[in-house]
Each structure stands twice: as C-alpha cells, then as structure tokens.
C-alpha cells in the first residue's frame, strides 16, 4: 500500500520555470456577470458526448439537468442559469484544436423563480457520496476531465487508500487553485474529508507548491479548527510538472504508476482542489457543478485575476470583464503556456476543465522560429519527466514507424511540453506525440473493425455452407428413398392425391 514518505522523492527531468503567478494571484475573485447566452459543450473527457434531455425552445430552470451521460465515462450537464434553449448544434469548444462538439446554446434570463437543487443527500456514506458526485456532473477540473465518480466506484473493496488532493498547479500563470485555497480553506478541507469517506481512505494529503506563501499555514489552522488530523498539508518543490498526477505521486510516495495503469493500482486516488470544492458544494449546498474559477491573465490583461465563471460563458465576456482589448491579442491560449492550446477566436464557451485564459501579445510570445533538424543532443531525454526517449520517439514517428513508437511507450507521454521547451532545434515534439497517439488509436479502431468483419464473414460462409450441406443431405435421402420402385410409386400417387385434393379445395372455395 502506498505510504507517504517522510522525505520527499524526486522525479526524473522537469524544468524550473519563471512562474508569472503574481499577475493574478493577489487580486480578489470577481464573479462574472450573467452572460446573455451560454455555449455549453456536451463532450467531456476528450471523447464521450452526453445526450441532451431538453429540446430546442424548452425553458429550463437554474441547475436543471440538460444532458445525461450515455457512456459510463460521460457526465451529466446542468444549466448554470434559467433560460431558453436556443439551439443544440455543433460548435467549436475549448478542447485542443478548438475541436467542434455538440453544444447546447442557452439564452439566459433572470427568472430564477424555481431552482432545481439536487435532492438533499441524507446519510453520508460511500455509496451515497459516489452517487452524488455522479449526479452533480463532477469531473476532474485540473485539466484531463476524467469523470470523478469512476475513481471511487472501483471494485477493490475497502482498502486503506491514500487520497491526494492536488493543489500543485505547476504551470506558469495559472492561479485559480491557489486562490481557491486562500479563499475557501474550510470548504476545501471539508470536501477533502468527504472524499476520504468516498474513497475509504484513512489518510489524505493536500499537496501544494512551496512558492505559495501563506497557504500552508492557513490550511493547517483550518485542519486544526475542524479537528481533522488525518489530513496533512505537504509542500512540494516547484519543478514543472510536479502537478502531473504521476509526478506528484512519485514525489510524495516514491512510487511510480505502472505504464498503462491508474494510480488506483497503487491504492492512491488523486483529485484536484477545484474538484474537491465542487464535491463539497454538491454535498453541502446540493449544487451541481455549473461554475468554476478561471484565471484570466497575460501581459495584455488590464485586470488580471480569477473569475467565478458559469460553464459555457463565452471567452469574449471574460476578456471584457478582465479589461483586455481583443484587437491586441496575438495568442488566446486555454490553459497555461506549457500545455495550453491556442484558440482561433473568442466565441467559444468555458468548459468544466478550462482553468485559465492566457492572453499574450506579439512581444511576449516566442517568435515563430523555423524548425531545424534534430541533432540528437539528448536534452529532451534529460527533461522528460516520464523517463521516455523523446528524440527516439520523434524519429520513429517521423519515419512513420508508429508501432515502434508504441513499443517505446508514446502512450505514457503526458504531453507536458518539457521536451519541446528545451529543444535547441525548436522542434514541437509534443505535436508529434499527439499525432502518433491519435493515429495509433485510429489504426487500432480500424484493426478491431477488420477483425469484426473477418469474423462475421467467416460466420456467414460457414452458415451458407451448412445450408448447402443440409440441402444436399435432404436430396440424397430422397434419392435413396426413390430407388425402391414400389416406394417410388407410392410417393408419386401420394403427391398426385395431394394435388388433386388441393384443386378440389380450390374449386370448393370458388
């Protein structure tokens, strides 16, 4: 079982980055004004689309459920405000490459006469908490968007799990988690306690980075006030990407998550602080997950800070609130500078996983240097926190040898961008790994489909053959029968009789 080490471990590689957090961390959280329309994406976890349960033209109440998951890895979607469904259509979303997905467009109004809170939970125990997490539509708000209830709804019975609350936001610029810990320590610690019950964990660790000034003492005093000594706050060194799930586990416990497995195989469950707060809200206030803190920052932003934003709010509204002139923006990035992805325009809705909007002017973005050949310097190997061989992977993918890149564990790449950052030839290595992963997934799908077709074709051939054999057997039996002359005569007369009878019947009927 996973144990917390007295002395912290380190992971391989990583980077020390300038963190730029001071821009937004010290400003008070502002609530975003109600947007006139929300574009709420129905796709989560980079794949599974939830099914809308409302129709165009319907009026919905605040917190009413508007989409139900059809896949176990989907999540429910709720309306952040009351309003009317204007459309259900494909729309670009805050996913990588602004990929289009089915979205519900909601015209909001202020008729909050009725609010559909979740039903009161009653007794708090493991099954009821897991059910609540599921019905509140909660997913990992740190970025990956993995549906949270799945982590707790595991088959491994009542083991002594270790719960890790991930407050280590290692990406530069992003401060929404830090701000949440500063503003709502009680909600966070209480939420942690709830998650411990959901996870059957006897111990919990809140991991924060050592550059967050007063957070540790604040959380420690909250823990003391609530008398929950089984929760511990640990400072981890600020090395990018400490906040990655696998890296943080390595730092805290010295253990490595095996390739292709989840932390659960080590008896560890990890949850982001924002998710923990969402669970607390769902249990204490019966509120589904419909809003989140979004950091709006960058050198162009007049009022950088954290904004309490309803899910689906268009980016342009956040930009207006943060006093950022859209015309000067060179890059609008969702997420941080390392793992974030640029957006083509600001008419895209905030997702449950959107933690930051980073707005950069031409001066502050890296000039678009042309890519030079790989010189096999090995800097990327030194930087890779997953202990992979980035340059080797690059060569395989470059040469279209995707299978070999799979053998070299391209699927273990967490796309942190450390290799691209250090590459002296400016090769955007991560884009190669993303490509390889997507293409391999596609090829696997094709292969599975071909296997199915092969199976079905063989089954069909077998069936046709069986039918043919059956017919032949029948014919042969008949022929055998007719060899006997008297029997044959009998048979013929029987057939003739039958025909006669039939004709007689037909005449009668007429």
Partner 1 sequence: MNYLLALLGMLLLAGLFGILIVWVARKFKVEGNPVVEQINQVLPQTQCGQCGYPGCKPYAEAIAKGEAPINQCPPGGQDGIGKLAALLDVEELELNPDNGVEDEVDTIVEIVEADCIGCTKCIQVCPVDAIVGAAKHMHTIIGDECTGCDLCIPACPVDCIIQIPAPLPSRIHRQEKPRLMITIEEAQKWPS
Give the x-and-dash track for 446-475 against partner 1 (CB under 8 A).
Answer: x--xxxxxx-xxxxxx--------------
Q: Contact between 117 and partner 1 (CB under 8 A)?
A: no
**Cβ burial 411-445 (10 Å sphere, 16+ → b, else e):** ebbbbbbbbbbbbeeebebbebbbebbeebeeeee
Q: Is 49 helix (H, G, I), strand (E, B) or coil?
A: strand
Q: Contact between 435 and partner 1 (CB under 8 A)?
A: yes
CA-CA distance, 135 to 137, in Å (whole number)? 5
**Residue owning tokens 């952040």:** 80
Q: Which residue of 43, 151, 250, 331 would you call a contact of partner 1, by CB under 8 A?
A: 43
Q: Which residue of 12, 26, 34, 48 would you call a contact of partner 1, by CB under 8 A?
A: 48
Q: Contact between 445 and partner 1 (CB under 8 A)?
A: yes
Q: In what order do the strands lie in the sheet with 77-78?
A: 51-52, 65-68, 77-78
- CB–CB of 299/363 below 8 Å? yes
CA-CA distance, 371 to 26, in Å (whole number)? 38
Q: Which is nearer to partner 1, 202 or 460 (CB)?
A: 460
Q: Where would I find the beta strands (DSSP E) of 93-174?
A: 100-108, 161-167
Instruction: Count the helix, strand and coil residues of the chain and give each as a percent rounded to the nearest 5.
Output: 40, 20, 40
**Alpha carbon of 120 to those of 135, 271, 279, 346, 398: distances in Å?**
12, 24, 14, 38, 55
Q: Which is nearer to partner 1, 348 or 427 (CB)?
A: 427
Query: Which segment (9-17, 256-264, 337-345, 423-431) binds partner 1 by CB under 8 A?
Result: 423-431
Q: Which is nearer to partner 1, 370 or 486 (CB)?
A: 370
Q: Contact between 506 and partner 1 (CB under 8 A)?
A: no
Task: Tell me how far, at minimum, the Cβ of 432 lies from partner 1, in Å.
Answer: 5
Find out whether the peptide bond into 152 is cis, omega within 30 degrees of 0: no
Q: Contact between 90 and partner 1 (CB under 8 A)?
A: no
Q: Contact between 442 and partner 1 (CB under 8 A)?
A: yes
- CB–CB of 331/365 below 8 Å? yes
In the beta sheet, which residues pair with residue 30? 307
Q: Contact between 97 and partner 1 (CB under 8 A)?
A: yes
What angle is formed at CA 500 by the lines to CA 498 and CA 505, rounded to 5 degrees? 95
Q: Which is nearer to partner 1, 404 or 491 (CB)?
A: 404
Q: Contact between 398 and partner 1 (CB under 8 A)?
A: yes
Query: Which segment (17-25, 142-150, 181-189, 364-372) binds partner 1 by CB under 8 A?
Result: 364-372
Q: Which is nearer to partner 1, 117 or 445 (CB)?
A: 445
Q: Contact between 49 and partner 1 (CB under 8 A)?
A: yes
Q: Which is nearer to partner 1, 124 or 467 (CB)?
A: 467
Three-class secondary structure assignment of 203-250: EEEEEEECCCCCHHHHHHHHHHHHCCCCEEEEEECCCECCCCHHHHHH
Q: Contact between 99 and partner 1 (CB under 8 A)?
A: yes
Q: Contact between 389 and partner 1 (CB under 8 A)?
A: no
Query: Which segment (210-218, 404-412, 437-445, 496-504) binds partner 1 by CB under 8 A?
Result: 437-445
Give the x-and-dash track for 340-359 against partner 1 (CB under 8 A).
Answer: --------------------
Residues that bind partner 1 (CB under 8 A): 43, 46-49, 97, 99, 101, 369-374, 397-398, 425, 427-428, 431-432, 434-435, 438-439, 441-442, 445-446, 449-454, 456-461
């Amino acid at each position: 079982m996973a144990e917390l080490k007295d002395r912290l471990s380190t992971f391989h590689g990583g980077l020390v980055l300038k963190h730029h957090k001071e821009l937004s961390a010290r400003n008070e959280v502002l609530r975003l004004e109600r947007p006139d329309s929300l574009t709420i994406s129905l796709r989560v976890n980079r794949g599974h689309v939830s099914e809308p349960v409302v129709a165009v033209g319907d009026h919905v109440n605040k917190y009413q459920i508007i989409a139900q998951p059809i896949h176990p890895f989907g999540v429910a979607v709720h309306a952040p405000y009351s309003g009317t469904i204007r459309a259900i259509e494909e729309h670009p979303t805050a996913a990588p490459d602004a990929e289009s997905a089915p979205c519900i467009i909601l015209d909001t109004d202020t008729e909050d006469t009725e609010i559909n809170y979740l039903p009161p939970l009653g007794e708090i125990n493991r099954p009821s908490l897991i059910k609540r997490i599921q019905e509140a539509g909660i997913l990992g708000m740190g970025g990956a968007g993995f549906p949270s209830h799945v982590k707790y709804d595991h088959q491994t019975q009542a083991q002594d799990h270790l719960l890790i609350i991930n407050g280590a936001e290692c990406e530069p610029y992003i401060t929404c988690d830090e701000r949440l810990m500063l503003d709502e320590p009680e909600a966070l610690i209480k939420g942690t306690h709830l998650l411990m019950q959901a996870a059957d964990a006897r111990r919990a660790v809140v991991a924060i980075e050592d550059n967050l000034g007063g957070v540790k003492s604040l959380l420690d005093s909250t823990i003391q006030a609530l008398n929950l000594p089984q929760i511990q706050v640990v400072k981890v060194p600020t090395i990018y990407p400490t906040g990655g799930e696998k890296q943080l586990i390595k730092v805290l416990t010295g253990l490595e998550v095996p390739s292709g497995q989840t932390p659960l195989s080590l008896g560890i469950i990890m949850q982001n602080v924002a998710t923990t707060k969402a669970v607390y809200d769902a249990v204490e206030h019966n509120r589904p997950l419909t809003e989140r803190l979004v950091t709006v920052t960058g050198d162009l932003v007049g009022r950088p800070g954290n904004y309490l934003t309803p899910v689906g709010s268009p980016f342009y509204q956040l930009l207006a609130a943060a006093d950022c002139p859209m015309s000067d923006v060179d890059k609008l990035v969702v997420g941080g500078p390392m793992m974030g992805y640029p957006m083509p325009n600001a008419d895209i809705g905030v997702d449950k996983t959107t933690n930051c909007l980073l707005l950069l002017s031409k001066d502050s973005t890296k000039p678009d240097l042309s890519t030079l050949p790989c010189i096999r310097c090995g800097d990327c190997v030194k930087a890779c926190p997953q202990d992979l061989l980035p340059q080797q992977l690059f060569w395989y993918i470059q040469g279209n040898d995707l299978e070999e890149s799979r053998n070299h564990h391209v699927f273990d790449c967490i796309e942190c961008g450390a290799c691209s950052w250090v590459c002296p030839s400016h090769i955007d290595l991560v884009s190669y790994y993303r490509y390889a992963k997507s293409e391999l997934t596609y090829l696997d799908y094709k292969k599975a489909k071909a296997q199915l077709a092969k199976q079905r074709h063989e089954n069909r051939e077998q069936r046709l053959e069986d039918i043919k054999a059956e017919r032949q057997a029948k014919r042969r039996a008949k022929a055998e029968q007719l060899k006997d002359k008297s029997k044959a005569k009998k048979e013929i007369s029987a057939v003739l009789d039958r025909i006669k009878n039939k004709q007689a019947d037909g005449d009668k009927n007429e």
